[in-house]
Amino acid sequence: MTGDNQILLDHGSGGRLSRELTVNLFFKHFGNNILSAATDSAVVPTPGEHLAFTTDSFVVDPLFFPGGDIGKLAVCGTVNDLAVSGATPLYLSAGFIIEEGFLLDDLKKIVRSMADTARSCGVKIVTGDTKVVNRGHCDKLFINTSGVGLLKSSHKNIGSGKGIKPGDKIIINGGIASHGMAVMIARNELNVGGNVISDCAPLSGLTGQILKATSGIKFMRDATRGGLATVLSELCENRKFGIEVAEEAIKIDDNVRGICEFFGFDPLYVANEGKVVMVVAPEKAGSVINIMKSHKYGHDVSVIGEVVEKHPGKTILKTKIGGSRMIDMLAGSQLPRIC
Amino acid sequence: MRFIDEYYDTSLIEPLLRSIKKISKKEVRFMEVCGGHTMAIRKFGLPSLLPENIRLLSGPGCPVCVTDRWFIDKAIALARMPGNIITTFGDLVRVPGSSSTLEKEKANGADIRIVYSPLDALALAKEFPEKNIIFLGIGFETTSPAVAVTVANAKKEHLTNFSLLSSHKIMPPAMKAIIHEGIKIDGYICPGHVSTITGPEMYREIVGKYGLGCVISGFEPTDLLQTILMLVDQVESGKPKLEIQYKRAVKPDGNLKAKKIMAEVFETCDDWWRGFGIIPESGLSLNKKYKPFDAGEFFNFNEVPKPEEDKACICGEILKGLKTPAECLLFRIKCNPGNPVGACMVSSEGACHAYYKYQG
Amino acid sequence: MCLSIPAKIISIEGNKARVSLGGAEINAALHLIDDAQVGDYILLHSGFAIQKIDEKEAMETIRLLKEIGREGQEP
């Protein structure tokens, strides 16, 4: 079929096509066990501790949106990938690809934002690179950040969820879909408005506090591109357990819900930038919730479901009226629709 | 949210189900002909809540699903011509044509833009006077008035670079075709939003001539259950009727203004429906006054042959309610939302997509 | 079909309205309805208001549904 030899936008959407490209091209050729574990941070053995190492590139448009900017996103994204792997983030690199003609004032704002965010979560940006390309050869500004953090042996399975068992609780630190809709409003392409602020935030303080206070954290992942639904369906795919979540327990702000309704978007698949999904041993769930409730990035915590024995490999959402719905990965990004 | 949440009140669900179970004795099959209903019924898990003697069938109510591959092939041919901007609702972008999709053509460099409103396409025509802007028109009576307004405005503003490729269709001929095909149903759950435009009267012939109850339904779970209760009551009493459950949105005359603009711009024509073939007088094309805006008139589609339908794909039988998606050999394994073969899987409201997503 | 959403008119300028749902806002063309007023609820589809929601009928439907609810609870 035409287009099979071409990269589509959907290859970058975080859905099934993205995963296929990652596995069939990058994993295949770079091939090693650490990479193909496919955790948010690569966990590399070092004498004594483990080193968590991750990288991410940021191309968000527009560069500034309610609740953040590309710089804050670049720090939070990489810090969070380390944090949800159970690591303590320590050092970041920052690579900039800048389009000729980009305003220095805007760059200053973004760099200051990165510095503030890094300081707020105790990480240092210790190395970097800058390239400028001809006008038209990149869209204003692209940033890549890589990060390393230290990971205790006892936490090394958190990224892969090896120890998950039926009965474990599934917890998320707040309401979903704000980031994706905040960016949509900021793009102003569809003249949509609303009081939606991105949830972009560094979560290492929250995760660090929880890991210090309690054991029994079996799994963590941040629900970025592809949304909460993608995390849940990836989590149980090809595993011996299933997942059940309750529609009622998943919090969505009214403004966010309104925009999703206008365009026919499912909030479960919309990107977040400050949400961590945790799988927790049931006897520890109470203390996790208490810590979250008293933290600024966790006060809207919700227990959304649990790991179950039935329907292994599938995630089922129970609707308010008792019906059920399977949550699967999307092929690509959601598009505004009339049907 | 007002006018949504009140109708999703879970305390109203049990009593409705009890009332249905109390009076429902006969085996009945009710068909809905609206993609929104297909999805809502699956999303709320209604089939598992209703008694076993009530079966809900999904009919040809998804405009994307009933649109043939030839339409997509023509749209792709237009996209490949230099100087054209194709504007479309998001629903069409991943629908498979014979050998490509609009999404893949976009990756290949074609100028294809998703619009929220057909008026956005008109705005593009004014912004780019040197380009030809073609709007891909799909949808039933809910959408065609908006497109009619757009074409009328194009004429008022003397635009020469805007045109419509129409696949618009109307509902009643398809509802009658279902009956003529001998598909056994005991009543229709009538499309709620189509009916806000048309009003209820167009279903009267189905009640009178074929003795089938028609109830126009809203989209929330209480709406659908109340509709089913009304249809069951009609069947058990032997009195088929035309009734409106969705009274907050469907008025006795429908939307007169919308019907007027539709009549001003469109005329009916024979049209090809996936699963049915040609249904007479079931499509909408631009009438003589607005023909200059018909993309079919001034683009050459001679090089775009009518494709054969995929033999293994049974979307046609599914659209007629003859088979369920689970009975299709391609379902799930070869045909799924990530890799759709037929339109019923591409469209979020398609029977196969809804079944895949919600059958849990 | 189809995605039609009940939204509230919060401002009008000529043939164009700004409508709101849960605090989110978007434009709606008014060519298909008459006498639109700020505060009216409309059904929004593909960027157009396609019908006004009849609040009296909406309340009546709820009343009927609640009546079924009450009847269902009687022994």
Collect all residues with Cβ–Cβ distance below 8 Å to B105 and sequence separation of at least 6. A2, A3, B76, B79, B80, B112
- Structure confidence by residue, pLDDT tens digits, B5-59: 888 888 899 899 999 999 999 999 999 999 889 888 888 888 888 999 999 998 8
Domain assignment of residue A160, yes or no: no
Helix (H) or strand (E) holding A150: strand A141-151
User: Does the beta-carbon distance from A254 to B1 stay under 8 Å?
Assistant: yes
CATH number at residue A60: 3.30.1330.10
Same domain, A178 and A270: yes
DSSP C8-61: EEEEEETTEEEEEETTEEEEEE-TT-SS--TT-EEEEETTEEEEE--HHHHHHH
A25: pLDDT strictly greater than 90? no
Same domain, A89 and A230: no
B360: pLDDT strictly greater than 60? no
C73: pLDDT strictly greater than 90? no
- Structure confidence by residue, pLDDT tens digits, B85-100: 999 999 899 888 888 9
pLDDT over 90 percentage in chain A: 68
Pick C53's closest partner by Cβ from B61, B197, B249.
B249
Q: Measured between beta carbons, which residues in chain C are less than 8 angstroms from residue B247?
A: 54, 57-58, 60-61
Torsion on CA atoms A246, A251, A256, A258, rounded to nearest 10: 60
A47: pLDDT strictly greater than 70? no
- Structure confidence by residue, pLDDT tens digits, B208-243: 999 999 999 999 999 999 999 999 999 999 999 999
B349–C contact, CB cutoff 8 A? yes
Record the tokens describing residue A59, joined without a space. 């191309």
Strands A302-308 and A315-318: unpaired
B35–C contact, CB cutoff 8 A? yes
Residue by residue, what is the 3-state secondary structure of chain B?
A: CCCCHHHHCHHHHHHHHHHHHHHCCCCEEEEECCHHHHHHHHHCCHHHHCCCCEEEEECCCCHHHHCCHHHHHHHHHHHHCCCEEEEECHHHCCCCCCCCCHHHHHHCCCCEEECCCHHHHHHHHHHCCCCEEEEEECCCCCCHHHHHHHHHHHHHCCCCCEEEEECCECHHHHHHHHHHCCCCCCEEEECHHHHHHHCCHHHHHHHHHHCCEEEECCCCHHHHHHHHHHHHHHHHHCCCCEEECCCCCCCCCCCHHHHHHHHHHEEEEEEEECCCEEEEEEEEEECHHHHHHEHHHHCCCCCCCCCCCCCCCCHHHHHCCCCCHHHCCCECCCEECCECCCHHHHCCCCHHHHHHHHCC
- Structure confidence by residue, pLDDT tens digits, C23-68: 999 999 999 999 999 999 999 999 999 999 999 998 889 888 888 8
Average pLDDT over every residue of B181-187 = 91
* Ramachandran bin of B287, using left for φ above 0, alpha for ψ from -120 to 50, beta for the remaining angles: beta
Q: CA-to-CA distance for A143 and A22, rounded, in angstroms?
A: 20
Contact between A326 and A243 under an 8 Å Cβ cutoff? The reply is no
Average pLDDT over every residue of A199-209 = 98
Q: Measured between beta carbons, which residues in chain B are less than 8 angstroms from residue A323?
A: 43-46, 48-49, 358, 360
B335: pLDDT strictly greater than 50? yes
Contact between B135 and C35 under an 8 Å Cβ cutoff? The reply is no
- Structure confidence by residue, pLDDT tens digits, A149-167: 999 989 989 999 999 999 9
Q: Measured between beta carbons, which residues in chain A are less than 8 angstroms from residue C23?
A: 194-195, 254-255, 258
Same domain, A111 and A250: no
Same domain, A148 and A185: no
Q: Is A322 exposed, middle or buried (0-12, 13-18, 19+ CB in 10 A)?
A: middle
Q: CA-to-CA distance for B73 and B82, rounded, in angstroms?
A: 16
Radius of gyration of chain C (CA): 16
Q: CA-to-CA distance for B45 and B201, rounded, in angstroms?
A: 31
Strands A169-172 and A124-133: unpaired
Q: Measured between beta carbons, which residues in chain C are less than 8 angstroms from residue B6?
A: 58, 62
User: Does the beta-carbon distance from A254 to C22 stay under 8 Å?
Assistant: yes
> If contacts are CB pairs under 8 Å, which of residues 210-239 in chain B contact chain C?
222-223, 226, 229
Mean pLDDT of chain B: 92
Mutate to test the interface with A, among C5, C11, C25 (most CBs of A within 10 A): C25
Average pLDDT over every residue of A82-91 = 96
Chain A residue with CA closest to B1: the answer is A254
Task: Write down the pLDDT at residue B213.
Answer: 97
pTM, rounded to two decimals: 0.89
Q: CA-to-CA distance for A185 and A163, rounded, in angstroms?
A: 40
User: Does the beta-carbon distance from C3 to A264 stay under 8 Å?
Assistant: yes
Average pLDDT over every residue of B309-327 = 81
User: Does the beta-carbon distance from C23 to A264 stay under 8 Å?
Assistant: no
Pick C3's closest partner by Cβ from A195, A196, A337.
A337
Residue C72 is which amino acid? G
Chain A residue with CA closest to C44: the answer is A262
Task: Write down the pLDDT at residue C1.
Answer: 45
Same domain, A126 and A263: no
Domain assignment of residue A15, yes or no: no
Average pLDDT over every residue of B179-189 = 93
Same domain, A105 and A229: no
Domain assignment of residue A246, yes or no: yes
C5–A contact, CB cutoff 8 A? yes
Q: Which of A121, A155, A189 is the last residue of a domain?
A: A155
Q: Which domains are seen in chain B, by residue range?
A: 64-170+254-298 (3.40.50.11740)
Measure C15 CA to nearest chain B CA, in Å. Answer: 12
Q: By C-alpha distance, which of B263, B258, B253, B250 is closest to B196?
A: B250
C10–B contact, CB cutoff 8 A? no
Structural domains of chain A, count: 2
Pick B62's closest partner by Cβ from C1, C32, C50.
C1
Domain assignment of residue A162, yes or no: no
Average pLDDT over every residue of A158-182 = 96
Domain assignment of residue A145, yes or no: yes
Fold designation for C5-73: SH3 type barrels. (2.30.30)
Q: CA-to-CA distance for B133 and B165, rounded, in angstroms?
A: 11
Radius of gyration of chain A (CA): 19
C2–A contact, CB cutoff 8 A? yes
pLDDT over 70 percentage in chain B: 99
Same domain, A242 and A110: no
Residue by residue, what is the 3-state secondary structure of A48-84?
A: CCEEEEEEEEECCCCCEECCEEHHHHHHHHHHHHHHC
Residue A131 is which amino acid? K
C65–A contact, CB cutoff 8 A? no
Task: Write down the pLDDT at residue B290.
Answer: 97
Pick B248's closest partner by Cβ from C27, C61, C69.
C61
- Structure confidence by residue, pLDDT tens digits, B103-129: 999 999 999 999 999 999 999 999 999
A170: pLDDT strictly greater than 50? yes
- Structure confidence by residue, pLDDT tens digits, B271-304: 998 878 899 999 999 999 999 999 988 788 888 9
> If contacts are CB pairs under 8 Å, which of residues 186-205 in chain B contact chain C?
191, 193-194, 196-197
Q: Which 3 state secondary structure label does DSSP give A46?
A: coil
Task: Write down the pLDDT at residue A273.
Answer: 97
Domain assignment of residue A117, yes or no: yes
Task: Write down the pLDDT at residue B356.
Answer: 83
Same domain, A44 and A75: yes
C75: pLDDT strictly greater than 70? no
Q: Is B57 exposed, middle or buried (0-12, 13-18, 19+ CB in 10 A)?
A: buried
Q: Which 3 state secondary structure label does DSSP give A88?
A: strand
Q: Which of A155, A180, A210 is the last residue of a domain?
A: A155
**Alpha helix stretches (DSSP H) within chain A:** 16-21, 28-30, 33-36, 70-83, 104-120, 178-187, 204-213, 227-236, 254-263, 285-293
Same domain, A314 and A289: yes
Record the tokens describing residue C30, joined without a space. 């008014």
Q: Which of A132, A155, A178 is the last residue of a domain?
A: A155
Strands A217-222 and A315-318: unpaired
Same domain, A263 and A299: yes
Residue B1 is which amino acid? M
Domain assignment of residue A18, yes or no: no
Q: Measured between beta carbons, which residues in chain A are less than 8 angstroms from residue B63?
A: 339
User: Does the beta-carbon distance from A324 to B347 stay under 8 Å?
Assistant: no
User: Does the beta-carbon distance from C26 to A261 stay under 8 Å?
Assistant: no
Same domain, A173 and A322: yes
Domain coverage including residue A173: 169-327
Contact between A207 and A81 under an 8 Å Cβ cutoff? The reply is no
ipTM (interface predicted TM): 0.92
B187: pLDDT strictly greater than 90? yes
Q: Measured between beta carbons, which residues in chain B are less than 8 angstroms from residue A8?
A: 103-104, 107
CATH number at residue A283: 3.90.650.10
Same domain, A81 and A206: no
Pick C53's closest partner by Cβ from B1, B140, B248.
B248
Q: CA-to-CA distance for A72 and A60, rounded, in angstroms?
A: 11
Q: Measured between beta carbons, which residues in chain C are less than 8 angstroms from residue A254?
A: 22-24
Task: Write down the pLDDT at residue B258.
Answer: 98
Q: Where are the domains positioned within chain C?
A: 5-73
Q: Measured between beta carbons, which residues in chain A are less than 8 angstroms from residue C45?
A: 338
The answer to whether the Cα torsion of A115, A293, A265, A79 is positive or negative is positive
